[in-house]
Amino acid sequence: MKQFKELEDFIGTHFIYTYDNGWEYEWYAKNDHTVDYRIHGGMVKGRWVKDQEVDMVKLTDGVFKITWTEPTGTDVALDFMPNEKKLHGTIFFPKWVEEHPEITVTFQNEHIAEMEAARETYDTYPKLVVPEFAAITYMGDAGIDNEDVISEEPYDGMPSDIREGRYFDENYRKINK
């Protein structure tokens, strides 16, 4: 198994993880300042995002913190410990996302204006704070800026297809189905 120490070891890695509450996420450290992700379970299942700007740092050997604010107003803080196959995430959902999660269940990049409009229309406070540990169930070395990693909307069974080698070829390119 790959050992993570420096930020350079972490960047380019593709993860699937399941929070203790059952929510399943897929997340890709695309480069040192952007991530792509898909949500496969939980309150906003079906949402996917490319090129989310983030702050990504090494806290100590093998431990990495990634933080960002989405156009929805949702704030996210993730602490990855890939050598232990776990992470801790805290998601700060605005009140409107808790009350209208269906608005966010889309390809965000094509609906930024709708996210911003909802953020201005509905209540943002009090925020729903969801702090959870997660088990990392998949780690793949996708390389930096691989546009095939998160390139389509999530579907039922996608995480299993990825984990069981039915989604990417040996060069980490999406297999056409």
Active site residues: 25, 70
DSSP summary character for residue 83: G
3-class SS of residue 34: strand
Question: Taking a C-beta distance cutoff of 8 angstroms, is the pair 65, 59 a contact?
Answer: yes
For 22, residues 6+ apart whose C-beta sits below 8 A from its C-beta are: 41, 42
3-class SS of residue 165: coil
Distance (Å, whole) CA 152 – CA 80? 24
Distance (Å, whole) CA 17 – CA 134? 6
Reading the block at residue 90, the tokens are 């805290």
